[in-house]
């Protein structure tokens, strides 16, 4: 059937073909079904959307991404016909029913994810079936390999390539901004790609973006790493394991990170850059992705086994994840605190000790030293890490003279104070993230939370507990209201509750 093109002047990731209800009925298609648009020798598959009123009978609304690709103008004529779903949708259904997938089936799913051939519902079904049914080790290995093989890979002519990755789940985990320059300053190569936030209020890519451009191509990552020793780039902007970011975009709104996907996501990025030695940070504790040390050990075994199958030397470090790392949560606040640590300007101990522990492990694995923590500490305290970080920032298009206090933070603030004399019984990771997200993080870079007290510290009535930062008044109000309803920092005296009317925790 022939349709007249109505150009929708926007660019979209997914291809949609918008038609009238009458035309959809005549073609026998529903919203979300697929149609093929053909113009000359070129064709594209798109999802059906219906917008009666906007689109007249005989018209097809398509965005600029498609018109550019087909090289057709507004008002031009395209041939359009329905096509069936890709076979990978059947394989997703098989996984939803709890069956094991073959290597070929997994490859087909990942390839279709990369080619945008699955719609949001199908992709979500795949992620959720992993969440509910899990995968066995073969399936995890095949998923990882498929994610590597459907993208570009990196090779370096000189140097030892190493990498670190955190499984995330603990707020304020800005350690990569310390570790990458420490490792690069030691002479190793660390082409680090990071994701944006998945369950947190700021992923490493969100935090680094406050200071520099993180949307780098594979060629830029290679060039900067060879010249400076390291980068911190957003994996989603590269063609390295390109399925990863598309899957993460489904996980983010649900705040979930299914274990098979987590393993494949992290290890595909490490395999694709040709890392020889890899350290995986597994934060363990209430409100993180791994609640107990036992579960942390199980996950560590999985990472080591997956590394063995892929030919990577993996060490996992179980770290304390029961409360935020450092005192800040949210992109700009985290960038500010990471710079404070690099400047040796009274940084929080938890941040420095964690960064040195992970960096030190990597230095030992690569044979640089037998006392990794002390070696890493010297690089940090001598200012060499700050110098290297500035080189990295400059190479990524940022201001090499940036100082911590130049980082712009949201100017709308609200401080919570202690209602009683007592001690901090609990800093709740999940609530901290919820409040920081309500304040606008990670999209509003200046939004987030600064903790004035952490678990175990004593407080007097009226002492500051935490401050919420936002860029917009209405988001601050929303975050304050949420924090009042679900306090992220809990102060307790010896009396916990009084019935019927008082509740302190
Ligand atoms: O806490 P959530 O958002 O779930 O986890 C995602 C974060 O964890 C990893 O950190 P890194 O790249 O090792 O620094 C990811 O890249 C991302 O920044
Ligand atoms: O990069 C990451 C980190 C945590 N979880 C993922 O799925 N990917």
State whether 313 and 391 are in the same domain.
yes
State whether 329 and 215 are in the same domain.
yes
State whether 286 and 391 are in the same domain.
yes
State whether 272 and 336 are in the same domain.
yes
Give tens-digit pLDDT for 77-99: 999 999 988 999 999 999 999 99
CATH number for the domain harbouring residue 202:
3.40.1030.10
Which residue lies with its CA nearest to atom 6 of ligand 2?
Answer: 262
Q: What is the mean pLDDT of residues 22-26?
A: 95
Inside any domain, residue 487: yes
Q: What is the mean pLDDT of residues 62-89?
A: 93
Ligand nearest to the CA of 174: 1
Which residue lies with its CA nearest to atom 7 of ligand 2?
Answer: 262
CATH number for the domain harbouring residue 428:
3.90.1170.30
441 CB near ligand 1 (under 6 Å): no
Exposure string over 88-101, b if 16+ CB within 10 A, otherwise e: bbebbeebeeeeeb
Crossing angle between the packed helical segments 137-149 and 293-310, to the nearest 10 degrees? 50
How far is it, in rounded angstroms, from Cα 499 to Cα 505?
13
Which of 130, 245, 257, 281 is flagged as catalytic?
257
State whether 379 and 442 are in the same domain.
no
- The greatest distance separating any two alpha carbons of the chain, rounded to the nearest whole angstrom, comes to 78
State whether 340 and 212 are in the same domain.
yes
pLDDT confidence of residue 174: 98
Counting ligand 1 atoms within 8 A of each CB, the residue from 162, 173, 206, 334 with the most, and so the one to mutate, is: 173
**Could you tell me which residues come within 8 angstroms of residue 174 by beta carbon, excluding any fewer than 6 positions away?**
202, 204, 207, 325, 326, 328, 334, 335, 337, 338, 351
Q: Among the three residues 352, 375, 405, which one is the final residue of a domain in this structure?
A: 405
Give tens-digit pLDDT for 144-193: 999 999 999 999 999 999 999 999 999 999 999 999 999 999 999 999 99
State whether 466 and 452 are in the same domain.
yes
- Which candidate, 409, 413, 424, places its Cα nearest to that of 487? 424
Three-state secondary-structure class, residue 449: strand
Residue 163 a catalytic site member: no
Model pTM score: 0.89
Inside any domain, residue 246: no
317 CB near ligand 2 (under 6 Å): no
CATH number for the domain harbouring residue 125:
1.20.970.10
- Give distance in angstroms: CA of 213 to centre of ligand 2: 20
- Which candidate, 315, 321, 247, places its Cα nearest to that of 284? 321
State whether 291 and 418 are in the same domain.
no
Inside any domain, residue 340: yes
Q: 505 pLDDT exceeds 80?
A: no
The structural domain count of the chain equals: 4
Annotated binding site for AMP: 169, 195-200, 204, 265, 289
Q: 446 pLDDT exceeds 60?
A: yes
pLDDT confidence of residue 15: 82
Q: Among the three residues 83, 109, 125, which one is the final residue of a domain in this structure?
A: 83
State whether 325 and 341 are in the same domain.
yes
State whether 311 and 424 are in the same domain.
no
- Could you tell me the residue range of the domain that residue 491 belongs to? 412-503
């Amino acid at each position: 059937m022939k349709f007249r093109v109505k150009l929708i002047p926007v660019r979209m990731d997914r291809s949609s073909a918008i038609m009238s209800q009458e035309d959809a009925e005549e073609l026998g298609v529903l919203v979300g079904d697929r149609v093929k648009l053909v113009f000359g020798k070129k064709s594209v598959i798109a999802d059906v959307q219906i917008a009666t009123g906007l689109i007249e009978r005989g018209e097809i609304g398509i965005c600029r991404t498609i018109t550019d690709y087909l090289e057709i103008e507004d008002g031009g004529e395209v041939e359009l016909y329905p096509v069936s779903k890709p076979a990978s949708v059947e394989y997703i259904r098989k996984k939803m029913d709890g069956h094991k997938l073959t290597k070929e089936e997994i490859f087909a799913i990942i390839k279709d994810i990369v080619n945008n051939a699955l719609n949001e519902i199908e992709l979500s079904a795949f992620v959720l079936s992993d969440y509910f049914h899990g995968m066995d080790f073969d399936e995890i290995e095949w998923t990882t390999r498929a994610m590597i093989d459907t993208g570009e890979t990196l090779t370096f002519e000189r140097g030892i390539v190493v990498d670190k990755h955190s499984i995330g789940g603990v707020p304020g985990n800005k350690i990569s901004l310390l570790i990458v320059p420490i490792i690069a300053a030691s002479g190793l190569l660390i082409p680090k790609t990071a994701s944006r936030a998945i369950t947190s209020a700021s992923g490493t890519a969100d935090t680094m973006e406050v200071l520099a451009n993180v949307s780098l191509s594979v060629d830029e990552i290679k060039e900067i790493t060879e010249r400076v020793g390291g980068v911190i780039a957003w994996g989603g902007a590269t063609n390295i394991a390109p399925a990863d970011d598309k899957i993460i975009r489904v996980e983010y709104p649900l705040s979930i990170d299914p274990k098979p996907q987590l393993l494949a996501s992290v290890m595909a990025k490490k395999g694709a850059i040709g890392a020889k030695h890899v350290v995986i940070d597994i934060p363990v504790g209430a409100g993180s992705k791994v609640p107990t040390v036992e579960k942390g050990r199980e996950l560590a075994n999985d990472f080591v086994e997956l590394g063995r199958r892929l030919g990577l030397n993996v060490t996992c470090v179980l770290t304390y994840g029961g409360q935020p790392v450092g005192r800040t949560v949210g992109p700009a606040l985290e960038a500010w605190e990471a710079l404070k640590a690099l400047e040796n300007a009274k940084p929080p101990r938890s941040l420095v000790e964690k960064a040195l522990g992970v960096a030190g492990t990597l230095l030992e694995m690569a044979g640089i030293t037998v006392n990794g923590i002390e070696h890493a500490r010297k690089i940090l305290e001598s200012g060499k890490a700050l110098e290297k970080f500035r080189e990295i920032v400059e190479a990524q298009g940022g201001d090499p003279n940036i100082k911590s206090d130049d980082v712009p933070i949201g100017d709308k603030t609200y401080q919570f104070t202690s209602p009683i004399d007592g001690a901090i019984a609990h800093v709740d990771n999940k609530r901290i993230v919820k409040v920081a997200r309500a304040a606008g993080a990670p999209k509003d870079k200046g939004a987030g939370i600064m903790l004035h007290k952490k678990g175990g510290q004593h407080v007097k009535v009226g002492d500051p507990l935490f401050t919420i930062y936002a860029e917009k008044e209405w988001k601050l109000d929303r975050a304050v209201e949420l924090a009042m309803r679900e306090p992220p920092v809990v102060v307790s005296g010896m009396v916990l509750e009084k019935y019927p009317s008082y509740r302190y925790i």
